[in-house]
Amino acid sequence: MSSPSPVRRVSAEGPSTTAIFLVLRKMRAPLIVLISLFAISILGLTIVPGQTIEGQVWRMDPFEAFYFMSYTATTIGFGEIPYPFSAAQRAWVIVTIYLSVVAWAYAIGSVLALLQDRGFREALGLQRFERQVRRMREPFLILCGFGQAGEVVARALDATDHRLVVVDREGTRIEALDLAAFRSDVPGLCGDASDPHELRRAGLDSPHCAGVIALTNDDHANLAITMATALLRPELPVVCRTLQDDLIDRIKAFGDPLIVDPFNLFGDELVVALRAPVTNRLTSWLTSDQGSPLPVQLDIPRHGRWVVAGYGRFGGHLAADLVRNGIPVTVIDSKGGTGQGLEVITGDPTSPQALDAADLDNAVAFAAATDHDITNLSLIVSATSRNPGLFTVARHNDPTNGPLFDALHIDSVLMPTRLIAHEVLARIGDPMMWLFVQNAQRRDDAWGQPLLDRLVAVCGERRPEIWTVELTDHGAPSLMDHIEAADVTVAQLLKDPQDRQRDLEAVVLMIRRGQSVVMAPDDTQVLQVGDRLLVAGRGYDRRNLDTTLCVPAAAEYVITGAQVGASWIWRTLADR
């Protein structure tokens, strides 16, 4: 008996061979017609009498008749072979010619119709998809849901050299995959990812599957995906998007999936920004796309009353987070609502009476938190016209409305899809970065300000390249001897291998040492074998650092200042 495999399998059909069976099935009738008409024609030819040149009665045998039929039916038409036909033979040949035309037309027509057939094309596509997934020989992630958030996640994961398999219920989105111009080949399956069979088709059983990301619009589908993955492949990481609080507990029952809840995230971020605006500015800069400018600092008023229009899921979270931080909140909602420490105004938030009742003149901040973009925009406009000094927060759902939100200069915009995408990327794409952000958000401004100043001084005001260096035999082969022999500090490592007087334009953001973490280590921090460094810096200095890590002569020069030859002969001579 074989040892139990770590991959648990549910019984299912083997690889789908639907396409070939469909062809065979649909070609049955035309082929039978073709064979039958040929058989009748040949039989007739062998029965009808002909004449030799000498005038003797002569009949074709089946072989000659088959030869004649073959060149006649395929329109080659060699003529009357071997003897000129008799009238009777010619009469029968007329019949056979028309029979064969019908048979061929039917057969070819069926093949063409089959090629156009939707079911057949889907079967072919499915077969191609399964082949692609089977041939994946490197770790890949299964992305369920290729909507707005899914597309951002897919693009960014692709840009950071992750392989992907996409499952979506909408055929048009899967078709959009072909046009999306990813760097690597991204197979797409049109199907319901909450169906375990579809998930297995997408490679859940594959030993190369590295994780599942559930980003569909349907929270229950996301729950089903998380459940299926937890039961079939318990060791795989799962990221699950949800918008509903009551589902979070149910999701948590299955292992430890990473839950992405944009409304919670936004509230948490806002609280961090309230408490430590500089640190928040730093983390949001570092988690943005490479090359983006340093964002403006969010100066959230720390004292004073907030007005939240719309007490839905987002508004509820926001109000609760604010109240927890001791900020008075007034909520406007047409359905009303209750909450601890809240002043609730029941009424349509867009009506002037409700806004009057909220007494905006004496408030410091206004949040448009309904789930309708246009309502949010109009709320922001009417609120700022009453009190231009308000700090504004708006919820932005549909990316196509982006220019409108930009034009209003809203202080803080929540875009659920963008937030989800960033969170997923940080967690799955770059765990070191996520760890850094998690730790940084607990720090205050006294910690964040020096690091931000240093980053800007070293790397400029564009978001630098961020990468991870592993001080292992694999990640830094030339450095291992030096680290083991003597203390090597961070400052010693970050030198130009061409000229060690010059510091590399790079900053070590964090060192991960086993389970412990050193945040923003200073220059005198001593490195150890097995450390993982999160480094931010310029692209060209990333290559310089790679040189130090991989070329023994460069490492020797950077650490000790000794010039040694790179070739074996030179090193042997120098050692003497």
Partner 1 sequence: MNFEKVVFGFFVVLAATLNFGFFIGPIDDPRVHNAFELYSAVVINLIALVMKFGDRTQIGAVHLATSLVASLQLVAAGGLWAFYNNISEGAAMTPEQISSVVSLSGGALFANVISVTLLVVETVSFRRQ
DSSP letter assigned to residue 257 = P
List b or e across 526-555, with b for residues whose CB sees 16 or more CB atoms inside 10 angstroms: ebeeebbbbbbbbeebbebbbbbbebbbbb
Smallest distance, partner 1 to C-beta of residue 67, A: 9
Amino acid code (one letter) for 267: G
- Under 8 Å between Cβ of 547 and 573: no
CA distance 489 to 483: 9
Q: State phi, psi for 536 to the nearest 5 degrees.
A: -115, 135
Smallest distance, partner 1 to C-beta of residue 62, A: 5
Smallest distance, partner 1 to C-beta of residue 178, A: 30
Q: DSSP of 499-547, one letter per residue?
A: -TTSBPSEEEEEEEETTEEEES--TTPBP-TT-EEEEEE-HHHHHHHHH
Among 352, 343, 284, 354, which residue's Cα sits nearest to residue 319? 343
Toward partner 1, which CB reaches closer, 46 or 489?
A: 46
Residues at the interface with partner 1 (CB under 8 A): 21-22, 24-28, 31-32, 35-36, 38-39, 42-43, 46, 61-64, 66
Pairing of strands 209-214, 140-144: parallel
Smallest distance, partner 1 to C-beta of residue 226, A: 33
Smallest distance, partner 1 to C-beta of residue 39, A: 4
CA-CA-CA-CA dihedral for 30, 33, 36, 39, to nearest 10: -70
Smallest distance, partner 1 to C-beta of residue 46, A: 7
Toward partner 1, which CB reaches closer, 35 or 95?
A: 35
Toward partner 1, which CB reaches closer, 62 or 565?
A: 62
Toward partner 1, which CB reaches closer, 67 or 182?
A: 67
Smallest distance, partner 1 to C-beta of residue 377, A: 57
Smallest distance, partner 1 to C-beta of residue 134, A: 20
Toward partner 1, which CB reaches closer, 24 or 446?
A: 24
CA distance 229 to 214: 10
Toward partner 1, which CB reaches closer, 21 or 570?
A: 21
Pairing of strands 163-168, 140-144: parallel
Smallest distance, partner 1 to C-beta of residue 111, A: 14
Toward partner 1, which CB reaches closer, 66 or 434?
A: 66
Question: How many helices and strands in the chain, by DSSP H and E?
Answer: 23, 18
CA distance 512 to 533: 6
Among 108, 120, 187, 180, which residue's Cα sits nearest to residue 151? 180
Smallest distance, partner 1 to C-beta of residue 98, A: 20
CA distance 446 to 433: 21
Pairing of strands 532-537, 163-168: unpaired
Toward partner 1, which CB reaches closer, 121 or 543?
A: 121
Toward partner 1, which CB reaches closer, 59 or 208?
A: 59
Give me the residue label for tokens 């709320």.
Answer: 379
Smallest distance, partner 1 to C-beta of residue 79, A: 18
List the alpha helices (DSSP H) in 387-523: 402-407, 416-424, 431-440, 445-459, 480-485, 490-493
Toward partner 1, which CB reaches closer, 41 or 280?
A: 41
- Under 8 Å between Cβ of 463 and 290: yes
Toward partner 1, which CB reaches closer, 28 or 454?
A: 28
